[in-house]
């Protein structure tokens, strides 16, 4: 992301394109598979997964990685810098300056980014992702391509594995669209009560993965035997925090308990809540599908990547 003006950044897609994804009869099963994939990523990269399990930090992560991918090797001050990241985030109101600055400090503290070797400027302090961050982002992207393949019987994962350069071209394109698209940045209240809270994205993925009836029964989906203690232990969160997330959703009427005791928990979720989740995820799929298509076309037409990015793409094994 190189300071492109808002008017030049495309949104994730038209409402009609998003609705095509949302109406796909395979979407529910694909989203459950995707939610389980996100849980697997948490198990492999718990620190990263916890760090980006809130919408603001997810947006910051995608923006930062896109800045890195589009780094100009001829400009030692390009790539991820605090000022560049702040410009993008503040431009779209996705986070405050203090939030973005604190986020970069977290990434440095957890060794998820590092200073670019040999940088001539200590003031601008250009950064680059560490290998664990590269691995997590590539696995996330591969998982999204697999979901798209399941929706339309495509061959994106096969092509991605044959040419990892697709990832480096597609990720910044998708990031631009999603950060610029208010439908993704600001999900419905039923969704935002989870994802705009620390670690809430993890809990929402876990909850969705447990739904037992893809088709609502009398307007409800059901989750059996979900316990706060189990979620708390798995994700290293306090029970109070987990309980607070569900209390907020319950107050909105999105979900509730039919049975709630020591031996059995049966939770209902409204069909409208699940439809909100499906449509919000469809916005993401639309952006990723468009970005993938543009990336492949740019490769087919011989458009060159920056040398540093091209070299990393050749060495990568997505």
User: Is 247 part of any domain?
Assistant: yes
User: Is 19 part of any domain?
Assistant: no
**Tens-place pLDDT, residues 80-93:** 877 888 787 777 77
Structure tokens at 225: 């035997």
Q: Tell whether 263 and 299 lie within a shared domain.
A: no
Q: Tell whether 142 and 65 lie within a shared domain.
A: yes
CA distance 218 to 206: 23
Q: Tell whether 143 and 259 lie within a shared domain.
A: no
User: Is 8 part of any domain?
Assistant: no
Q: Tell whether 148 and 93 lie within a shared domain.
A: yes
Q: Tell whether 305 and 175 lie within a shared domain.
A: yes
In this prediction, residues 268-288 reach a mean pLDDT of: 97
Tell me what pLDDT residue 184 has: 95
Q: What does pLDDT average to over the chain?
A: 87
User: Is 107 part of any domain?
Assistant: yes
Q: Tell whether 209 and 66 lie within a shared domain.
A: no
Q: Tell whether 91 and 134 lie within a shared domain.
A: yes
Q: Tell whether 84 and 229 lie within a shared domain.
A: no
How many domains, the chain? 2
CA distance 102 to 97: 8
Cβ 168 vs Cβ 65: under 8 Å: no
Q: Tell whether 106 and 228 lie within a shared domain.
A: no
Q: Tell whether 201 and 162 lie within a shared domain.
A: no
Q: For the ranges 52-56, 85-89, 160-164, 244-248, which has the lowest average pLDDT?
A: 85-89
pLDDT over 90 percentage in the chain: 64
Tell me what pLDDT residue 119 has: 64
**pTM of the entire predicted model:** 0.87
User: Is 29 part of any domain?
Assistant: yes
Which domain does 122 fall in, by range?
24-186+281-315
Q: Tell whether 48 and 123 lie within a shared domain.
A: yes
User: Is 94 part of any domain?
Assistant: yes
Please report, for the domain that includes residue 193, its CATH number.
1.10.10
**Tens-place pLDDT, residues 31-79:** 999 999 999 999 999 989 988 888 988 998 999 999 999 888 777 667 8
Tell me what pLDDT residue 305 has: 61
pLDDT at 312 over 80: no
**Tens-place pLDDT, residues 220-236:** 999 988 999 999 999 99
User: Is 255 part of any domain?
Assistant: yes
User: Is 83 part of any domain?
Assistant: yes
pLDDT at 6 over 70: no
Q: Tell whether 101 and 175 lie within a shared domain.
A: yes
């Amino acid at each position: 992301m190189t300071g492109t003006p808002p008017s030049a950044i495309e949104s994730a897609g038209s409402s009609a394109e998003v609705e095509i994804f949302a109406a796909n009869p395979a979407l529910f099963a694909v989203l459950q598979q995707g939610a389980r994939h996100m849980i697997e990523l948490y198990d492999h990269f718990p620190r990263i997964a916890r760090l980006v399990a809130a919408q603001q930090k997810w947006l910051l992560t995608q923006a930062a990685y896109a800045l890195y991918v589009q780094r100009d090797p001829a400009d030692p001050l390009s790539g991820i810098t605090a000022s560049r990241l702040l410009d993008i985030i503040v431009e779209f109101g996705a986070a405050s300056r203090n939030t973005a600055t604190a986020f970069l400090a977290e990434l440095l503290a957890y060794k998820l980014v590092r200073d670019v070797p040999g940088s001539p400027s200590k003031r601008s302090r250009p950064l680059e992702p560490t290998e664990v961050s590269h691995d997590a982002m590539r696995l996330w992207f591969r998982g999204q391509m697999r979901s798209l393949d399941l929706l339309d019987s495509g061959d994106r994962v096969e092509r991605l594995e044959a040419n990892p350069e697709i990832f480096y071209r597609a990720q910044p394109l998708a990031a631009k669209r999603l950060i610029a698209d208010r439908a993704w940045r600001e999900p419905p209240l039923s969704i935002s009560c989870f994802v705009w809270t620390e670690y809430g994205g993890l809990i929402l993925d876990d909850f969705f993965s447990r739904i037992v009836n893809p088709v609502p029964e009398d307007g409800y989906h059901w989750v059996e035997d979900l316990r706060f203690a189990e979620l708390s232990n798995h994700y290293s969160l306090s029970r109070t925090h987990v309980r607070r997330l569900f209390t907020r959703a319950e107050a909105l009427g999105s979900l509730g308990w039919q049975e709630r005791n020591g031996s059995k928990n049966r939770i209902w979720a409204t069909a409208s809540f699940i439809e909100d989740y499906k449509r919000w995820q469809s916005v993401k799929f639309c952006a990723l599908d468009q970005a993938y298509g543009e990336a492949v076309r740019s490769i087919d037409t011989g458009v060159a990547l920056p040398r540093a990015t091209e070299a990393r793409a050749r060495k990568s094994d997505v």
